[in-house]
Amino acid sequence: MPVRRGHVAPQNTFLGIIIKKFEGQNKKFIIANARVQNCAIIYCNDGFCEMTGFSRADVMQRPCTCDFLHGEFTNRHAIAQVAQALMGSEERKVEITYHRKDGSDFLCNTHIIPVKNEEGMVMMFILNFDYILEEDSRPFNQIKSSLLGSTSDSHLNRYSTINKIPLITLNFSEANNDKKCPSPASSEKTIIAPKVKDRTHNVTDKVTQVLSLGADVLPEYKLQTPRMDKLTILHYSPFKAVWDWLILLLVIYTAIFTPYSAAFLLNDLEEQKRRECGYSCSPLNVVDLMVDIMFIVDILINFRTTYVNLNEEVVSHPAKIAIHYFKGWFLIDMVAAIPFDLLIFGSGSDETTTLIGLLKTARLLRLVRVARKLDRYSEYGAAVLMLLMCIFALIAHWLACIWYAIGNVEKPYLEHKIGWLDNLGVSIGKRYNYSDPSSGPSIKDKYVTALYFTFSSLTSVGFGNVSPNTNSEKIFSICVMLIGSLMYASIFGNVSAIIQRLYSGTARYHLQMLRVKEFIRFHQIPNPLRQRLEEYFQHAWNYTNGIDMNMVLKGFPECLQADICLHLNASLLQGCKAFQGATKGCLRALAMRFKTTHSPPGDTLVHCGDVLTALYFLSRGSIEILKDDIVVAILGKNDIFGEMIHLYAKPGKANADVRALSYCDLHTIHREEILEVLDMYPEFADYFLSNLELTFNLRDESATFPLLAQHLPLGYLPSSKCLQV
């Protein structure tokens, strides 16, 4: 399968960064769009809801002046200060008393923070709310320093630069400041943020301090690709691909020459010459040193190479990359890169020579790295067959080196010269003269004969012209024949079965991908839409591993399907207030009708003008709702959008676009199906309809439809509040 690149397209990250930072610090805040009427609230976090007692559905689309929090103890001068701050372009702190939903009052410090684009125009307001405690009398400079973990304002100056991160793509329209939008009855003015032209910095120091954001996460309003450190290398970049092939060639060289050098060369006359003239006399030693240096450089490169995490996000932070590498392949790479022969060079003893030969085999650990990269080429049958043949030959090469090492170690201690090396010398006319170390067969003769013996033993041919004579040689030959029978049966006898069994998923992937490409070619789909189709298919395949969940469910009886669906939708049915009054049978009926959809970033879920045929429950990710390319709401986990389907006889039309900001999981249920369940369980209908709270109502109220009458459950009479249009 192709290398996973992760989601690296330009995307909305500003809101995600703000929300993550604030949630981690237990803050209470709201975000308002400065380019819409009355600076409507488009997001509020759970801390704000707990602080005020209002649900997110109660707060969304309200003016950010927070009129719904005003009460008898709210000071008029403080209200005017908040309104003035929202009409300006500078941040301000206002001490004000608000009232919760239950009527209780609380004193808080409201920090109004305007966030501007690169042109200096205010695009958003962030309002942060902090309880004021009696003992909290520290000066503001000390508080703002503590937000960043510093006691000096000098440490905060570095946070005033904003061009640090890839941020927002919110399509705010350029509102005309001269036009006045009609204000609702509860507000005196329509707040439209003015355009500031003489501003030198888009975000001030106090914004940075309040957000507690480091230099790498400061907000900037423009579309750009994710920024990374200059020394960071993308894991799918051309340089990394070329480097991986180079390391692969070096690993293959290591797998071949390291056992050969340890067995044939270290105990030869060349070893004595190397000791006399130095380490650099042998070209092979120089090559080994260069290979070790390249492996060390590869370790450093791995410390700067991005990776894809479990959320399919490209991680480019150096510290996270280092931690990921330490937990993974660092130890194996480090041991394989240590130049043992150079570290203990010059000792000159036979024991040291044997030790060098054993330690050099540690380089073979690099083969583990090769194995993890071979799966991307596994869909090619010819490549798999060639790979199996190469593995067979490599194992035969290793066994040949061991076969020679056994004969060479035993040769001086044999009373009767019956070892295979002595027999080889007799058969080719190059007898060993133990008074002359240079006598006997050459290295070429010994290696070719050893390789010939291992190949004939592994393939169970065994001509017998090279045969084991000593006990050690016979034991080794038995092991070779056992290994050969296993390899012969598992590789050569079942090549087709191995390919079909191990790579059936890959074959299905390429078959489906071929169908997608044929569909694109036949219908001549243009390139932007073509790229979206291919990326969505690849992500959906990685997400589900090519399994059609609906087809899997259809293979089970209906009672088991209901139990499975109940488990798959358990978090929704248990977490949503509207479903808490349902019986187990009702929950099973609902679970059977829910459909789960997965959407990538940038995918439009609902277009303006689409017929609202379903109710949407967001279980993962975040989405934005846009009217005329203006963001009017940001929805997150456990939010509900659609229309109050029980109030109308016919489905309405959407008044806005709904677009995914990140990878989203949505549970959808069609209006006919939920009305069918309400009709089957009338005792649940009243509870559901009175407790269903839409975070955002997508219905276009300008189009009038008759209210729902005939589709309501028998005996259910909705309250007057529910019937209001």
- The structure tokens 């923070």 sit at 113
Structure tokens given for 178: 């001269």
CA–CA separation, 56 and 633 (whole Å): 11
Residue 230 backbone dihedrals phi, psi, to 5 degrees:
-60, -30
CA–CA separation, 222 and 123 (whole Å): 11
At 502 the pLDDT is 67
Q: What pairing do the DSSP bridges indicate for beta strands 696-697 and 640-642? A: parallel
**C-alpha dihedral (279, 284, 287, 291), degrees to nearest 10:** -100
CA–CA separation, 689 and 678 (whole Å): 9
CA–CA separation, 263 and 447 (whole Å): 10
With 0-12 / 13-18 / 19 or more C-beta atoms within 10 angstroms meaning exposed / middle / buried, residue 533 is middle
At 148 the pLDDT is 38
| b/e 259-294 (16+ beta carbons within 10 angstroms → b) | bbbbbbbbbeeebeebeeeeeeebeebeebeebbee
Residue 665: closest CA among 692, 643, 642, 638: 638
pTM over 0.75: no
Residue 201: closest CA among 216, 225, 217, 220: 220
CA–CA separation, 150 and 142 (whole Å): 9
At 212 the pLDDT is 41
- Helix, strand, coil shares, percent, the chain, to 5: 50, 15, 35
Q: In the chain, how many H helices and how many E strands?
A: 27, 16
Q: Could you write out the DSSP letters of every residue in 558-619?
A: HHHHHHHHHHHTHHHHHH-GGGTT--HHHHHHHHHH-EEEEE-TT-EEE-TT-B--EEEEEE
Question: Which element (helix H / strand E) includes 105?
Answer: strand 105-116
Residue 591: closest CA among 673, 513, 523: 673
Q: What pairing do the DSSP bridges indicate for beta strands 664-670 and 314-315? A: unpaired
Structure tokens given for 587: 């929950």
| Positions in the chain short of pLDDT 70 | 1-25, 134-227, 266-282, 341-361, 369-384, 492-494, 496-499, 501-502, 703-725
How far, in Å, are 164, 232, 622, 663 from residue 225 at the CA level?
Answer: 12, 15, 20, 18
Residue 280: closest CA among 355, 288, 358: 288
Q: How many residues does the chain have?
A: 725
Structure tokens given for 505: 């998923």
Percent with pLDDT over 70 in the chain: 71
At 657 the pLDDT is 92
Q: How confident is the model over 191-232, as pLDDT tens digits?
A: 343 333 333 334 444 444 444 443 334 344 444 455 677 788
Structure tokens given for 535: 């990326």
CA–CA separation, 144 and 212 (whole Å): 9
Q: 195 has which bridge partners?
A: 121
Residue 313: closest CA among 534, 516, 17: 17
At 451 the pLDDT is 92
With 0-12 / 13-18 / 19 or more C-beta atoms within 10 angstroms meaning exposed / middle / buried, residue 661 is buried
Structure tokens given for 272: 């004595």
At 448 the pLDDT is 92
CA–CA separation, 180 and 195 (whole Å): 15
| b/e 90-112 (16+ beta carbons within 10 angstroms → b) | ebbbbebbbbeeeeeebebbbbb
Q: What pairing do the DSSP bridges indicate for beta strands 314-315 and 307-308? A: antiparallel
Q: Give the long-range contacts of residues 131-138, CB within 8 A, separation 24 or more.
A: 131/51, 131/106, 131/107, 132/95, 132/107, 132/108
Percent with pLDDT over 90 in the chain: 11
At 184 the pLDDT is 38
Structure tokens given for 696: 């955002």
CA–CA separation, 380 and 189 (whole Å): 68
Residue 123: closest CA among 174, 159, 179: 174
Residue 70 backbone dihedrals phi, psi, to 5 degrees:
-75, 150
Residue 553: closest CA among 584, 593, 493, 600: 593
At 342 the pLDDT is 67
How far, in Å, are 29, 369, 671, 721 from residue 682 at the CA level?
Answer: 40, 62, 16, 19
Q: Is residue 393 within 8 Å of residue 458, measured between CB atoms?
A: no
| b/e 567-599 (16+ beta carbons within 10 angstroms → b) | ebbeebbeebebbeebeeebbbbbbbbbebebb
How far, in Å, are 258, 368, 390 from residue 255 at the CA level?
Answer: 6, 11, 12
Number of Cβ within 10 Å of residue 77's Cβ equals 8
How far, in Å, are 404, 421, 430, 579 from residue 414 at the CA level?
Answer: 15, 12, 18, 86
How far, in Å, are 136, 138, 145, 156 from residue 142 at the CA level?
Answer: 11, 7, 5, 12
Alpha carbon 106 to chain centroid, angstroms: 42
Q: Could you write out the DSSP letters of every residue in 197-235?
A: SS-S-SS-HHHHHHHT--TTS----S--PPP--TT-B-T
Q: What is the DSSP letter of 708?
A: P
Q: What is the DSSP letter of 56?
A: H
Q: How confident is the model over 321-376, as pLDDT tens digits?
A: 999 989 888 888 888 787 776 665 555 555 555 566 666 667 777 777 666 666 66
